[in-house]
Homo-oligomer: A and B are copies of this chain.
Amino acid sequence: MLEHATKIRVRYGETDQMGYMYYGNYAEFFEVGRVEMLRSLGLTYSGMEASGIMMPVLELHSKYLKPALYDEEITVKVFMAKMPGVKIHFKYDLYNEKQELIHVAETLLVFINMKTNRPCLPPQDFIDKLKPFFE
């Protein structure tokens, strides 16, 4: 089980006239959360793309428990519960500054070989870095 937390502050441009963070903008918070989880292991998503593998999203499931408000520093906790194969699953718990759980989400992504445009296994260094957490 892998776990990582990143703090992201809600920008004015991410709010809507309801005074909440717009419901479509959470997806970027998840993206930043999982990219920072990978970076904490010494992996970068940009490096993966440079090596010819990209990771499009297949599924997104989101529950909006409380609004994220302008200028709040949101804690994005990311969880990887099992070793990825051709697909990789992330869970997210978002907390506001009062430590209230405001959002839970899951995403499923797939590794795609950019030359063949077909699903593939993650790069070897990716596997090597993740393996110790799932043994």
What is the interface of chain A, defined by CB distance below 8 A to chain B? 9, 11-20, 22-28, 31-32, 35, 44-46, 49, 54, 56-64, 67, 70-71
Which one of B16, B44, B58, B63 lies within 8 Å of A13 (CB-CB)?
B16
- The verdict on A60 contacting B23 (CB below 8 Å), with A17-B17, A46-B70, A70-B17 known, is yes
Residue from A15, A26, A56, A64 having most chain B Cβ neighbours under 10 A: A64
A32→B16 contact, CB < 8 A: no
Oligomeric state, in copies: 4
Nearest CB on B from A41, distance (A): 15
The majority secondary structure among interface residues of chain A is mixed
- The verdict on A23 contacting B63 (CB below 8 Å), with A11-B31, A17-B16 known, is no
B27→A12 contact, CB < 8 A: no
CB contacts (< 8 Å) of A19 on chain B: these are 17
| Bound-state Cα–Cα, A32 to B13, Å | 10
Besides A13-B16, A13-B25, A13-B31, 17 other A-B contacts (C-beta < 8 A): A11-B31, A11-B32, A12-B31, A12-B35, A13-B22, A13-B23, A13-B28, A16-B17, A24-B27, A35-B71, A46-B70, A58-B64, A59-B62, A59-B63, A60-B61, A60-B62, A61-B61
